[in-house]
Structure 1
Amino acid sequence: MTELNLNATVGTIACELPGAAELFRRHGIGFCCDGDVSLADAAADAGIVANDLLDHLRTLEQAAKRGAPDGTNELIAHILERYHQTHRNDLEWLIPLAQKVEHVHAAHRNAPLGLAKALVDLQDQLIPHMAREELALFPMMRLEPDPDIEHLISRMRDDHACEGQSLVSIEHLTQGFALPGDACRSWTALYIGLQKFSEDLVTHMHLENQVLFPRFSSVDAQEDAVPPS
């Protein structure tokens, strides 16, 4: 994950740190169109003390680490049970619901036009990604590590970066999951489900990038061994 400091961009933090997106929303900090803004500048624009915001983000970071099982096999099982099947199930009903909302409310000025396609595109990225983990990477981690494992991990990290950008697009299309005052039940259910799905996916990626993958990556081990300057 990007190092948490005042120069880190809010877009990157929102896609990598569980709970950061909701924290930014509460403070009126946009991270889709304004995602390249530094944390320091975003805090200043929102009238917040930058170091206070940074402290809140570091608390979220520590909380995310505490939520992971210690053992590698247990962590893999947790990821599979809590996230992989959940993502599949969620997308199965979120996509048709998004199509329905777009069709019924196409003339509404706040209609999330393009949302269903964004979700289909994310599904097309995510389903093969999880299959590669289930069929190749995770079995390799459970047995003797293979020399090719770092190549696979690098590919998984690249996939995560693309999935994170898809979440930014969804954030933009839904205006931060902000429902209009006249939203129907379907629209309300869609945004509540989407927000939960997005938070789950960020947590899932964080567990892999920051907890699981470093256990098998010599690059991460070397970086951890370098003393701070």
Structure 2
Amino acid sequence: MNLMDQSLGQLARQIPGATRVFEAHRVDFCCAGNRTLRTAAAAAGLDAEAVAAELQALQARGAQVDEPDLRQFSDEALVELVLNRYHAVHREQLPELIRLASRVEQVHGDREGCPHGLAEHLNTMAQELESHMRKEEMVLFPLIVRGQGARAGMPIGVMRAEHDEHGAALQRLYELTNDITLPRGACTTWHALYAGLKAFRDDLVTHIHIENNILFERFAPAAVH
């Protein structure tokens, strides 16, 4: 099949490094991974053939990209990865980001480019993400680990819908921070905040990608459009 007619999720699963290409072009491959490359590129005003060419180049040297093939992970190993690498890390990241954002807003509230409302937005994200992760930990993941993933269509649908909400929250975060871009003369705390936001953004995007495009696809494949 032509790469342009495959879904972003399929491409992200199959081509090592594809996620970096999508990130560079600001193409949502985690929450909207069921769109074809052709559809997603058209919506973003991108040249689909040029993006496909980048992916083909990655395919050609795929064995040289030092990334684990998550498709080869067992269900249990994927769940363990999500819990240890993403759930635990988000719970460490967000309280510190909220603290830093509050500090920047308090000290630099009169400066142009100050991310007013960021601390409140991060606090809301933290609450929603915590609720989401607890549902996975208490309901969905135990089903999968017990080998009952085929019965998990309904909770998977709920988790995918909540992932879409997390994606919308990330878009709002970009709006508040000018795409996480520091203003000239930003202080050390501001630098630390935006570095932390970028790490959190990258982790959350990868977290959702692993669930939507790899783990959930094993039990409730999303329709490609």
Q: What TM-score do the two structures reach when normalised by structure 1?
A: 0.73
* Change in CA separation of 1:78 and 1:42 when aligned onto 2, cut-off 3 Å: closer
Q: Which amino acid aligns with 2:159?
A: M
Q: Which amino acid aligns with 2:24?
A: L
Aligned residues: 195
1:131 corresponds to which residue? 134
Aligned partners of 1:18 and 1:199 also within 8 Å? no
User: Mapping of 1:86-101 within 5 angstroms?
Assistant: 86-101=89-104
**Secondary structure of 2:25's aligned partner:** helix
Give the Å deviation of 1:140. 0.6
User: Mapping of 1:75-90 within 5 angstroms?
Assistant: 75-90=78-93
Aligned equivalents of 1:152 and 1:195: distance in 2? 29
* Change in CA separation of 1:83 and 1:109 when aligned onto 2, cut-off 3 Å: same
Structure 1 runs not aligned, ≥5 long: 26-36, 225-229
Give the Å deviation of 1:53. 3.1
Determine what percentage of the aligned residue pairs are the same residue.
35
Aligned equivalents of 2:73 and 2:84: distance in 1? 16
1:53 and 2:55 are equivalent in the alignment: no
Q: Which amino acid aligns with 1:24?
A: H
Aligned equivalents of 2:144 and 2:43: distance in 1? 41
2:74 corresponds to which residue? 71
Q: Residue 161 of structure 2: which of 144, 158, 161 is its match?
A: 158
Q: Which amino acid aligns with 1:79?
A: V
Q: Which amino acid aligns with 1:53?
A: V
**1:61-110 superposed Cα distances (whole Å, 9 cap, x missing partner):** x8788345521101110111100010010001000110110111111111
Aligned equivalents of 1:50 and 1:166: distance in 2? 27
Aligned partners of 1:94 and 1:193 also within 8 Å? yes
Quote the RMSD (CA, aligned, Å).
3.2
Q: What TM-score do the two structures reach when normalised by structure 2?
A: 0.75
2:115 corresponds to which residue? 112
Q: Which runs of 4+ in 1 moved over 6 A?
A: 62-65
